[in-house]
Amino acid sequence: MQSVKAAKTKRREAFLNRFDLASCKGLEIGPFDRPVFNRDRFPGILYADVQDTETLRNMAARAAEKGKPRDPADVVPVDHVLLDRQLDEVIPHRSLDFVFCAHVLEHVPDMIRVLQGVERILRPGGVFLMAYPDRRYTYDIDRPATTLAQLRDRHTRGLTRPDPDIVREHFLMNRPVNVRALWEGKSRAIGSRRHTPEFAEARAKAARDAYVDVHCNVLSSAEFGPLMQALRAEGLIGLDLALVEETRAPQHEFYAALVRPMPQIERIARGLLRRAGRPGIRSNPRIR
């Protein structure tokens, strides 16, 4: 069986190669020092992060000093600094053909608001592509799946940081997992819980006044699609589910694509313009 890292790289590339993205204008959220989309291959790519480039390079330098595999020189220049703002408060609406993020969406306290923001900055026909950790193969293995009711409640309350209940659950149920061993069915694949109830409660208390970064939205590849479809059916988001590629051995992540629907009249008009050979007509990403 190939290494987890090699399998991840190969599957991510295969997933993204299903879309015609090379000539499109896109956005990668949170690339830090390991962008999936490199400007050499994707000249239309932009980068967004909650911090500016200098801050991220300082973070990478501190991590490198502690022996972690980070290099400040690899940090990509951030085009859109979000701070505490939503994507659609910073990036022009209907300006992008695709948006990509890897292991970002599970951290956001109000997933519905983020999905709404992505929808607004995408052009009709644009796609939101993501790599998402499967709770069955991460330290979230003991946590129940996030529900529609929870997402709706967080959106109604307008959460801007994880609340104490989310933080408490994250730390209380956190358990180390050996992904390869888990896929192979070995008995010692899952370790003991990392934190005491007292520690989890202390972190929950801290979350009353500060941002505590945790996994807010925990899902498996089987659960993600139905949840997105439910959000769409209730009118909470306007993105359609295009596809979900399930988690496979020896990985801990799955891949998904959501699309901003294109009105029928616009689809017809674009088709006519392309057939007429009109210059400057951008083709939206298409699934191969």
Give the integer Cα–Cα distance in Å for 198 and 54: 37
| Complete domains list, the chain, with CATH | 4-25+95-156+215-275 (3.40.50)
Letter string b/e over residues 125-163, b meaning 16 or more CB atoms within 10 A of that residue's CB: bbbbbbbbbbbbbbbbbebebbeeebbeebbeeebebbb
Using one digit for the tens of pLDDT, what is the confidence trace for 193-229?
A: 999 999 999 999 999 999 999 999 999 999 999 999 9
Q: Are β-strands 26-29 and 45-49 bridged in parallel, bridged antiparallel, or unpaired? A: parallel
User: For tokens 């007292």, what's the residue?
Assistant: 198
Q: What would the two tokens of residue 163 be?
A: 């609340």
User: For tokens 């500060």, what's the residue?
Assistant: 210
- Going residue by residue through the chain, which has 288 residues, state the pLDDT in tens, using 9 for 90 and above: 567 788 888 999 999 999 999 999 999 999 999 999 999 999 999 999 999 999 999 999 999 999 999 999 999 999 999 999 999 999 999 999 999 999 999 999 999 999 999 999 999 999 999 999 999 999 999 999 999 999 999 999 999 999 999 999 999 999 999 999 999 999 899 999 999 999 999 999 999 999 999 999 999 999 999 999 999 999 999 999 999 999 999 999 999 999 999 876 666 655 665 666 554 434 457 655
Using one digit for the tens of pLDDT, what is the confidence trace for 241-268?
A: 999 999 999 999 999 999 999 876 666 6
Q: What is the dihedral of CA 21, 105, 123, 78, to 10 degrees?
A: -70
Q: Greatest CA separation found in the chain?
A: 68
User: For tokens 């991840």, what's the residue?
Assistant: 8
Give the integer Cα–Cα distance in Å for 17 and 126: 15
